Amino acid sequence: MNDQAGMEAAHLRVAELVQGLHSRPDADSETVVAELAEHAAVEIPGAQYAGITLARSGKEVETPAATHHWPLLLDKIQQRHQEGPCLTAAWEEKTVHVVDLETDERFPNYRRDALAETPIRSIMAFQMFIAGETLGALNVYSEQADVFTRESRTLGLIFAAHSSVAWNAARRDEQFQRALSSRDVIGQAKGMIMERYSVDAVQAFDLLRKLSQDSNVPLIKIATDLVASAQSPAE
């Protein structure tokens, strides 16, 4: 009962953390992912360090959040060899547990360099569901072998699921705010064209679109430059 009560309490802390991050006005996606990694290192039993690995199209590896230098270095090793537990978790949609890096033979090149360049000996990686073409994994690390337990796996899976939801929500909010900002700038530019050339909204937008096509410049850039030039003081 004590173990079950402890896990339930941990689950509640994770849920409250995610809810708190999402409700904060300053919770951009970078803040969200950084704080999630910090809390994963604290909450998941056995973890000393944590990090998030992203594998974009073309198998480019990024580390948007890490609690220490070691996760960053381990992702560089994965990029170098295109293999490793975090990439496997991201690509193959499963949890990967390296009990002891000294004896694990699944990632020979990664294993060789990780042992030579870091003190990490055990790893647990959990797949994250990231919107779009990006694949991701939440990873925890320890300098000791065989420290991650069944409870580590259970809480890690829950943490990864909550992290995916929180991060995707933060990214959607950022995209929505950018869309609103773009719409406002385009609206201002349309209004200026309508007033200057006595045309309606459709004709004004068509003119902006033609300028964009003819100059091979994004429409939002055309609109932004037009508004900025109108707001600049006359020389």
Q: Are residues 39 and 153 in the same domain?
A: yes
| DSSP H or E segment with residue 218 | none
Q: pLDDT band at 136, cuts 50/70/90? A: confident
Among candidate residues 166, 186, 219, the one where a domain is terminated: 166
Tell me how far apart the alpha carbons of residues 218 and 20 are, in angstroms, rounded to a whole number.
37
Query: Residue 130 corresponds to which amino acid?
Result: I
Residues 6 and 120 grouped into a single domain: yes
Q: Which helix (H) or strand (E) holds 233?
A: none
Name the domain boundary from 166, 189, 214: 166
**What is the length of the chain?**
235
**Alpha helices per DSSP H over the chain:** 2-23, 29-43, 69-81, 85-92, 108-117, 150-197, 201-215, 219-231
Residue 171 maps to a domain: no
Domain range for 211 is: 177-231
pLDDT tens, position by position, 87-124: 999 888 789 999 999 999 999 999 999 999 999 999 99
Same domain? For 19 and 91 the reply is: yes
Q: What is the pTM of this model?
A: 0.67
The CATH number of the domain holding residue 28 is: 3.30.450.40
Q: Give the CA dihedral 100, 105, 108, 110, nearest 10 degrees.
A: -30
Residue 226 CB neighbour total at 10 angstroms: 19
